[in-house]
Structure 1
Amino acid sequence: MSEFGALQKKPLHHAADGRFDNPWDAWKETGLRGVLRWQLDRRLKNVPPGAWLAGIRNPTAQDFLAAFPLHELNKATVTTAPDDCITAVWLGHASVLVKMEGVTFLTDPVLSQRCSPVQWMGPRRLVQAPKLDKTVLPSLDFVVISHNHYDHLDYGTVVRLHEQYGDALTWYVPLGLRTWFHKCKITNVKELDWWQSVQHPGSSVIVAMTPAQHWSSRTGSDRRQTLWGGYAILGKQLRFWFAGDTGYCPVFREIGELYGPFDLSAIPIGAYEPRDFMKPQHVNPQEAVQIHQDVRSMQSIGIHCCTFCLTDEALDEPPQLLVKEAAAAKLPPGSFVTLQHGACLQTAAGVARNKPPLLGGA
């Protein structure tokens, strides 16, 4: 049991039928009727049928490349990173490569061309994933998975990482997901409940699962059968928080009180339109800024954007709005930014050690 064991809490998120619930008034269940209404409304509003950019309804591949420059992942970026700061590389969507206090880990790695049950249809990448194998990342200690949606848990990526790093790679997953990994012939899996924490073997780092307001499903009939959440990665000196996928709710103040302040947080800022449908499950940039403040994050990066077209807003809108919302909230300059794909931020105690290339005009 970690030093935080005595402080663990158990929200009423375990339903009587064995599924999981969101125990906050901010949650609203959306079903097929809501999806159909969304699709009808987007036609009425003349939303482009595919990915689009602000001011460009039918962008080309060159337009996307200009909007989202891609930086090649360099082996030295992670292997030579100093130990006294957090080094974070945004790989696109919710995938972040992090090194801190002697451990290297990934959040929700999705490196396939599509976030879909199959690779011949479904949302495709509009920005290529950086190369990630042992030639650029010789060692990888663990992976944290927030939930089982296809844009966060990708079979092809999971199998590839297991083939590259073997059983030494630990997978931290929400309750109910161990069975899925066992079917992939992966056994080094540790299930966690909200507020549960464990020490990663061979290190002083603690992995703690934190609540989020979301849901789970991979087949349609398995809705909310497995849990969802985020993760606080707690070292002796440094603290990192990955929000996962979430709508806004009061729990973030509790996370900040228990585990904060954080040297760096990865907070979703995209996939928020239409607001009446997405609000319970996805925050917008304004709510993301509020989460940044609630969890007492000294520095944050925006994720869950600019990679796959999942909702109605322009693909480049989230980082642009984040710049405006951070200024409106009077956050210190540079304290909440969106990295360019493949870019690296090094930070500790709210002080950035470098000046990475950013999205959103910041």
Structure 2
Amino acid sequence: MAKKRMTGAAVLTFEHISAVVRAVGLDGFMDDIISGLRCAGTNLDTQATVVLERSGFQYSKPDVGLIEWMPSMELGRAVGIKTVGYHPSNPTQRRLPSVLSTTSIHDTATGQLTALVDSTLLTALRTGAASAVVTHILALPTAAVVGIVGAGAQAVTQIHAISRVRQIKRIIAFDTDPAVSATLAARLPLAVPVTVVETAAEAIAQADIVCSATTVDIGAGPVLPDHGYLPHVHINAVGSDFPGKMEVPVALLRAALVVPDDPPQCLREGESQQLELSELGPSLPDLISNAAQYERYQQEITVFDSTGWSLEDLIVAEIALDHARRLGIGMYTDLQSTPADPYSPYEDVLR
């Protein structure tokens, strides 16, 4: 049998990503991401790692949506750039995920593209993993009841990831579309009783941990109540990604320790857009690197403002690539021109 080619840029399609995750196992792959994020936060060197705020295009025609790019760089090694599209009408109008994304990785020595990775599943997984990392620090060790507000795709990875750091015994779920919340239990990779309720207030009342993952319209929030929580509740708010879009009431934010994953980005388009910089708690990497200091907040209300830290995307893409190389999954191809004579741009055209 001919040996598989391992030169050129590595390409992982959605089929390759699915094959990798199946081979590693959902739990094992999620654990790898959680570990990778913890390691990145603990060892972050801001002189060697540059994480830029995401930027891009937002529009309302033909439907409300955005396409953004999320860049990060490890100096002297690699640049990762995820291009992500968010179109909340996709599931109902086109039978497509609301979030679609692709990550490219480039060698900083040469500028060459080294990898191109479908990141739609990886984005959902790393978003869940980030919540798990924060939940492990800020939720009570005995936390067992999870309240879900917004029971779509992100709810699945939120629950799965949290189950890797806390023993979930019950899920209470609410979605504005009863058909979505009714299928949540069937979509989960773990067997936990799911109680479907009719209001967000019911979903949060008995929850030790709350995850809000909605597609609330700009200006239509918040979606969470401003009272009725357990005094130790930890909230993972992952749905805010537009200026003017928010899930958590400002009164609740001001009563809580708020952890922004990327403070400037969160102040612009996360829950933190309702606050001043002085009202924010530690950033995600600061929380991770000083975990023992912040565990005392487990008895208080805490909120993780999760807008997506760009370094997460480079981390999860490289985890997938490492497993793919080990398993012999994926393909390699020369996507860029590399003529034998770098001064001859027509070399391949005229030969």
TM-score tier by shorter-chain length is: 0.3 to 0.5
**Greater per-residue helix proportion:** 2
TM-score by length of 1: 0.34
TM-score by length of 2: 0.35
